[in-house]
Structure 1
Amino acid sequence: MATIEQAGTTAMPPYFGTVLRNGSSGPDSAQVQTWLNGVHTRWPQVPSVSVDGKYGGGTANAVKAFQTVAGLTVDGQVGSSTWNALYAAFADIRGAGEVFCGVTARSGDRGAVVKSMQQKLIRIRQVYTAIASISADGAFGSASAAALKQFQRQFALGIDGAFGRNTFAALAKVYGQVLAGAPTPVLPRYPGLLRQGSTGDSVRCVQSYLSALGSTVPKVTIDGRFGSATTASVRSFQRLARLTEDGKVGPATWSALVMAFNGTLRA
């Protein structure tokens, strides 16, 4: 029987509260499969499994094998005790920290992986205010997908609103840098000319970056609608940056805004 040290260990992501069993599916099932494959290197009696997010008989048997070596109730289901012990065993082998679950989480999914994503977005939103407010409820709905797109837009990722490997890695990095007090500079691609009447996430970026400049430019609301207040604030910024004062965001103004915002991150 294996001795698994769990004292002081918090699973990453923490257990969501839903028991996983034969027939379950989604990112949390994939997380379990990823952890099982990680402990297989130490305990070969725990079979390796396919990481597909589908909790079938093979995954249930591997969970039973792990529960046997860990001295847990052998039922092939992953409740809080098995979730925490499996993470602790994986972390002891591979190092502590959250790892990509192995499948892309999408709108409609729910669970611990989704809640962890939401919590990170909520925390970094304090710096990157173009990201809309969401709830950390573990349900991947349209609001979470929209917030994820707003994150992806600012860090040169594919803007699909899905939580795949690249977005997981980028969010983990940006989140870690925010916690460390050294936020990551944004790298948004120029979206084309923005002017009064424009709408969308690129406008939210403009408004966010203007807002970060404080009292040096007129205050704007971050709502994704390029109205007269945003036009006035852009004109003010253009005056300070010695750009053409037309109230429109072309490539020169966009680049200057991005640079100015990134400068506030180092302040």
Structure 2
Amino acid sequence: YPTWPTNSLQANIYAQISLALNRIYTEWYRSRHYEFDITSSTAYDQNFIRGRNIFENISQLVDEVFNVYIIKPGRQEPFYAEYCNGSTVTCPGMSQWGTVSLAQQGYSPQAILEYYYGPVELITTDDIQEIEGSYPGYPLKLGSTGRWVQIKQFGMNRISVNYPAIPKVPVDGYYGPEMEAAVRAFQRIFSLDVDGVMGKATWYRTSYIYVAITKLAELTSEGHNPIFSEGSYPGYPLKIGSTGEPVRQAQFYLSMVDTYYDLIPPVTIDGIFGSETKNVVIQFQRLYGLTDDGIIGPVTWAQLVDVYLGIEENVFVPVAVLPLKDYPGYPIKPNASGTDVVYIQLILNRISTQFPTIPPITVDGKFGNATKEAVIAFQNLFGLAADGIVGPLTWNRMNDIYSTVSSGCISITGAGEKAYPGTVVKQGQSGPNVQYIQNSLNTIRTVFPQIPSLVVDSIFGASTKTAVETFQRITGLTVDGVVGENTWNRMNDYTTAVSNGCLSDWKIYTDISDHDFIPGQDEKVSSTDNRTQEIFSVYQRPQRILKIGCFGEDVKALKILLQSTAGENPFLMGENMFFGLSTKHAVQRFQRHLGMRADGIVTSELWDKLTEV
């Protein structure tokens, strides 16, 4: 009621906002197969009547705090702030009439909330957007990759705690046989069609079970804990003999790196910087090209924090995505060894999951014949000089393709401009379906030049068959020169990936690095800073919107802009090609400075404003 004290009204508004957001966050109704997000009934949620008269003082309060919601300490989900009027209806949560007497006693809004709910935090957000269902719009199945797979892997592992018949799966963003087996087990338990595919029904059923077992939509929620937190540098180096909370925090970071990066050994979290911690720090420093002195100074600390932020912000849940490394300045050749070789081997193995013509190799840090063959296969696939040497062109192209594969940019949906016609298309046929195939292959050819160029004549002749066979060989399909449903759909996937810039033709980068490398010579190339400045000078306005989850040189150029024009800290954003939470926050700060809506999304308009400053 408008006559209630302001602190009472504000506490009630916070509770109402949080309850509504919790319904959205947990997909309470979507997971039960309803086509809405929240009811308009006080028996379940809240009552809303469009166009009804409102009270001015309440309206002003709502305008001031509409973007503030409640969480429990250490959690990230909006709190299920159950409440009732406290007179005709009572409940375990907040009494609305009870808030009036508390406010009259001088309780602040937060103190009122804590009287009923225990310790809480009030979170203010500038991330205002429309409601979207979490289902990505296409089924996840064997071979799928990316953020959505990672989210469900995380959820399946939590569900398996309560349902041990469901096997644990690696949280790596790759929908492999282990994930398929786990999904089948889930489907059997919950009476769904057992096909091992995460379609819409299975997607929302897993959401429903996850919310149920974690009690996210109840007062007694176990909470969805943020996996990582950003810590400030303690102000002094951590080294042998150091003790206390800063050491414990650094050990926590390192232990999580160990969980998701095989190259880092385990560490005990005891707050004591001993020889074990020093050895782990040295391994971390070597992995990221830092001075390997075993001391956590400001640079090592910033890199450590950036790795954690990069993991959380880019994939939402922990994921084994290797942070991208810049070209070391000299070619990596057969008989070389060390962390650069390990990096190449890890990159190639991940790429080979999408491009099976690249053979998987043992990650041993030794550049032997197997690694050379994999490098040559990669070079052949992407139109580079096939010499088995990793110079700047090959290194940068590996980073580019790895980012594409790891981000799930190449979706496996089969969706495209034209759906599969229902019958195979093969040599001897003609018509619009053949024309579509020829246009698609010519588009894909801009990235895979070994696919022969085709004359678009709508006739499926020998040259079209050869181009289809080449495409099938590249993507690991049966090589028969016939466009069946699998080939058609995979062609759609790759055409979409090339057309939307997910797979680039790399022409914009070729001129930058070509002059820096002479095969067979251990010449130093220009420094990382110079190279990124050169990239920025030629890579002008991006041809796409940049936001969380994007990968590429245009993101790296954005970070350079934010550093030079807005004074942002490059260590926190990460000197890589990932657009993560830290980068979003930097963009939002710049938008606020300009008086723009702070959504953290870089449009062409915002890019132009960055370059004007």
TM-score (norm 1): 0.53
Structure 1 position 135 matched with structure 2 position 276: no
Structure 1 position 227 matched with structure 2 position 368: yes
* Alpha-carbon shift at residue 261 of structure 1 (Å): 2.1
Tell me the alpha carbon deviations over residues 165-216 of structure 1, each in whole angstroms, 9 at most, x when there is no partner.
1321232133023123447962423241212210111111111211221332
Aligned residue number for residue 311 of structure 2: 178
Conservation of the 8 A alpha-carbon contact between 2:258 and 2:266? no
Structure 1 position 120 matched with structure 2 position 253: yes
Distance 1:232 1:137, change over 3 A: same
Conservation of the 8 A alpha-carbon contact between 2:350 and 2:402? yes
Aligned residue number for residue 192 of structure 1: 330
Amino acid of the structure 2 residue aligned with 1:166:
V
Aligned residue number for residue 235 of structure 2: 102
Distance 1:229 1:118, change over 3 A: farther
Q: Choose which of 301, 304, 312 in structure 2 pairs with 1:168.
A: 301
Distance 1:126 1:241, change over 3 A: farther
> Matched residues in 2 for 1:185 and 1:148: separation?
12
> Matched residues in 1 for 2:253 and 2:335: separation?
32
Gap runs ≥5 in structure 1: 1-6, 11-95
> Matched residues in 2 for 1:235 and 1:249: separation?
9
Amino acid of the structure 1 residue aligned with 2:387:
D
> Matched residues in 2 for 1:107 and 1:222: separation?
31
> Matched residues in 1 for 2:385 and 2:250: separation?
40
SS of match in other structure, 1:178: helix
Conservation of the 8 A alpha-carbon contact between 2:349 and 2:361? yes
Percent identity of paired positions between Structure 1 and Structure 2: 23
> Matched residues in 1 for 2:249 and 2:235: separation?
15
> Matched residues in 1 for 2:279 and 2:255: separation?
12
Aligned residue number for residue 379 of structure 2: 238
> Matched residues in 2 for 1:145 and 1:231: separation?
30
Distance 1:125 1:227, change over 3 A: farther
Distance 1:132 1:248, change over 3 A: same
Aligned residue number for residue 207 of structure 1: 345
Distance 1:255 1:107, change over 3 A: farther
Conservation of the 8 A alpha-carbon contact between 1:211 and 1:219? yes
Conservation of the 8 A alpha-carbon contact between 1:185 and 1:265? no
Aligned residue number for residue 76 of structure 1: none
* Alpha-carbon shift at residue 136 of structure 1 (Å): 2.0
* Alpha-carbon shift at residue 121 of structure 1 (Å): 3.7
TM-score (norm 2): 0.25
Amino acid of the structure 2 residue aligned with 1:211:
N
Aligned residue number for residue 150 of structure 1: 286
Amino acid of the structure 2 residue aligned with 1:148:
F
Aligned residue number for residue 218 of structure 1: 359
Tell me the alpha carbon deviations over residues 18-52 of structure 1, each in whole angstroms, 9 at most, x when there is no partner.
xxxxxxxxxxxxxxxxxxxxxxxxxxxxxxxxxxx
Conservation of the 8 A alpha-carbon contact between 2:230 and 2:305? no
* Alpha-carbon shift at residue 238 of structure 1 (Å): 0.9
Distance 1:97 1:203, change over 3 A: closer
Structure 1 position 252 matched with structure 2 position 393: yes
Conservation of the 8 A alpha-carbon contact between 1:105 and 1:163? yes
Amino acid of the structure 2 residue aligned with 1:120:
Y
Q: How many residues align?
A: 171
* Alpha-carbon shift at residue 237 of structure 1 (Å): 1.0
Larger radius of gyration: 2
Conservation of the 8 A alpha-carbon contact between 2:288 and 2:325? no
Q: Choose which of 404, 417, 426 in structure 2 pairs with 1:263.
A: 404
Distance 1:218 1:99, change over 3 A: same
Distance 1:229 1:110, change over 3 A: farther
Conservation of the 8 A alpha-carbon contact between 1:196 and 1:227? yes
Distance 1:179 1:108, change over 3 A: same
> Matched residues in 1 for 2:240 and 2:335: separation?
29
Conservation of the 8 A alpha-carbon contact between 2:376 and 2:386? yes
Conservation of the 8 A alpha-carbon contact between 1:150 and 1:201? yes
Amino acid of the structure 1 residue aligned with 2:338:
G
Distance 1:111 1:214, change over 3 A: farther
Tell me the alpha carbon deviations over residues 43-67 of structure 1, each in whole angstroms, 9 at most, x when there is no partner.
xxxxxxxxxxxxxxxxxxxxxxxxx
Aligned residue number for residue 70 of structure 1: none
Q: CA RMSD in A?
A: 3.2
> Matched residues in 2 for 1:165 and 1:122: separation?
19
Amino acid of the structure 2 residue aligned with 1:236:
A
> Matched residues in 2 for 1:259 and 1:209: separation?
10
SS of match in other structure, 1:203: helix
* Alpha-carbon shift at residue 116 of structure 1 (Å): 3.2
SS of match in other structure, 2:327: coil
Which of structures 1 and 2 has the larger relative contact order (alpha carbons within 8 angstroms, sep 6+)? Answer: 1
Aligned residue number for residue 55 of structure 2: none
Conservation of the 8 A alpha-carbon contact between 2:257 and 2:264? no
Structure 1 stretch displaced more, 185-194 or 250-259 = 185-194
Conservation of the 8 A alpha-carbon contact between 2:338 and 2:366? yes
Q: How does 1:55-94 map to 2 (within 5 A)?
A: none
* Alpha-carbon shift at residue 8 of structure 1 (Å): 5.2
Distance 1:231 1:9, change over 3 A: closer
> Matched residues in 2 for 1:213 and 1:190: separation?
20
SS of match in other structure, 1:213: helix
> Matched residues in 2 for 1:167 and 1:148: separation?
9
> Matched residues in 2 for 1:245 and 1:126: separation?
36
